[in-house]
Homo-oligomer: A and B are copies of this chain.
Amino acid sequence: MGKVIAGITLSADGFGAGPDQSLDNPLGVGGRGLHGWFYPTKTFQSMIGKSGGTEGADNDFGARGLAGFGAYIMGRNMFAPMRGPWPDPAWNGWWGENPPYHAPTFVLTHHPRADLPMQGGTTFHFETGGIHAALDRAQTAAKGKDVRISGGVSTMRQYLEAGLIDEIHLAYSPVFLGKGESLLAGLDLPALGFAVTERVLTENAMHVVLTRTV
């Protein structure tokens, strides 16, 4: 069975998203500033259909988050800005017709919905059974490859607290949101068994990888 790997960008004050997510602010108010390290990279530029972009550590970390995974898991709020039952016409995610996952992607939700196949190999599956059920399905679908917990903050906190994440990449940006969704408030990563196994500071971000050793 593959590993369960998570990754998220945080502000210097610890928020993975600002408050008041909406169609205009997928990462909440101020959240766009979080990814200053990622936007210039070749990986991101390629995601939006452009050529060029930077190489180096920022690009490597961005690419690692999107390559080699057999399945992805994300929370409802990472998939969609609206809450409650699914609207009609349907919301098909932020990523257009060809999302960057290219693998089965399980969306945690309280509201059932039929599978949603997209171009490029991504199929969104809507899982109403909670984080353990989603991980079971994802690991089966991944056929031995690693599973990626993509976000957002609430989803990642649930998997961390349940001891289900083997490795997590945190990219700290030198920005302050002031309020929003805190990844680590009340969570003690060392007590959860995590130790820092990689640290790379670039001009744009402090990248830290923590691995669970117990």
Contact = CB atoms under 8 A, between A and B. Distances in A.
Contact of A188 (B179, B188, B203, B210): B179
Given A172-B172, A210-B176, A13 B184 contact: yes
A30 B203 CA distance: 27
A204 B206 CA distance: 9
A177 B202 contact: no
B174 A196 contact: yes
A53 interface: no
Interface residues of A, number: 29
Contacts of A170: 12
Number of copies: 2
A14 interface: yes
A119 B99 CA distance: 66
Instruction: Label chain A's interface by main secondary structure.
Output: loop
Contacts of A194: 176
A205 interface: yes
Given A201-B201, A201-B203, A202-B201, A174 B208 contact: yes
Contacts of A179: 188, 191
Given A176-B194, A177-B190, A206 B201 contact: yes
Given A12-B208, A14-B13, A184-B13, A178 B191 contact: yes
A199 interface: yes
Nearest to A210: B176
Given A14-B14, A170-B12, A184-B14, A189 B176 contact: yes
Given A13-B14, A13-B189, 11 more contacts: A12-B172, A14-B184, A174-B201, A175-B196, A176-B189, A176-B194, A178-B190, A185-B185, A201-B201, A201-B205, A206-B206
Interface of A: 12-14, 30, 170, 172, 174-179, 184-185, 188-191, 194, 196, 199, 201-206, 208, 210
Nearest first, the 3 closest Cβ-Cβ pairs linking A and B are A178-B188, A178-B190, A174-B199
